Structure 1
Amino acid sequence: MDEFLKSRAMMTPGVAGGVTTMITGTLVSQFGLPGNWTGLVISLLLGLAVLADKSVSVYQRIVYYIINSLTIYAVAIGINTAGMAIQYSNEPGSDPAIIEREVPPDTGRFFQEWFRN
């Protein structure tokens, strides 16, 4: 567990990306918040955990914070996109090989298009 919270651990951003997807998906589906900005803010908040690691210099912590926060956000986007592809591929008449399609507006589903205009 001690290594899990270190700034150099790569498992931490992956798990935090999953947590970001859960929190963002819930906020977007329940309150209609914009997914892209909500996910970014949550990623930045979860990335703050890296600043607690006193074993590296302040400069390195800031660099790790930026890299980890962007990694968390990228993982969250990937999980959401994969969830959308699976979710919409189960619809009658849909082709699971085609991921790019017109996404119906707010359907009350957990996985939603975060970058909808």
Structure 2
Amino acid sequence: MEEFFQSKAMLTPGVAGTTTTMITGTLVSQFGLPGNWTGLAISLLFGLSVWADKSVPVYQRIIFYIINSMTIFAVAIGINTAGMVINQPLERSVDPHVIEETHSPADQQTFFQDWFR
């Protein structure tokens, strides 16, 4: 568990990026907050975990804070983008006289959204 909170550990940004995606997706879909700024703010909050490692000098912690926060944000963007691609409906051709109704949960999914629109 000690290695999880070290500033040099890359597991922390990966887990924090996943958590950032979940929190940002929820806030964006439920409250209509802007995804890009919400994700960045949450990434910066999770990046504060490097300050728990007192064995590294302050100037290195500042550098690790910036790098880890941007890594967390990049992971969150990647997960969100992958989720958007997975949830896109497949293009298929339907005869004009066929009426197709879709009521699947995948068509109503709004969790993954374009954060930069």
Using the size of structure 1 for normalisation, the TM-score is 0.84
Report what 2:6 is aligned to: 6
* Cα shift readout 1:73-95 (whole Å, capped 9, x = no counterpart): 0000000000000011xx2426x
* Cα shift readout 1:3-62 (whole Å, capped 9, x = no counterpart): 011000011101100000000000000000000000000000000011111010000000
1:98-109 → structure 2 map (5 Å cutoff)? 109=110
Matched, 1:82 2:91: no
Report what 1:93 is aligned to: 91
Matched, 1:111 2:109: no
- Report the count of equivalent residues: 102
Do the aligned partners of 1:20 and 1:72 also contact (CA within 8 Å) in 2? yes
Report what 1:39 is aligned to: 39
Structure 2: give runs of 5+ residues left out of the alignment.
93-107
CA distance in 2, matches of 1:14, 1:32: 25
Do the aligned partners of 2:87 and 2:109 also contact (CA within 8 Å) in 1? no
Do the aligned partners of 1:29 and 1:108 also contact (CA within 8 Å) in 2? no
Using the size of structure 2 for normalisation, the TM-score is 0.84
CA distance in 1, matches of 2:73, 2:26: 16
- Deviant stretches of 4+, over 3 Å: none
User: Percent of aligned positions with the same letter in both sequences?
Assistant: 74
Secondary structure in structure 2 of the residue aligned to 1:54:
coil
Structure 1: give runs of 5+ residues left out of the alignment.
95-106
Report what 1:97 is aligned to: none
Do the aligned partners of 2:6 and 2:53 also contact (CA within 8 Å) in 1? yes
1:11-90 → structure 2 map (5 Å cutoff)? 11-88=11-88
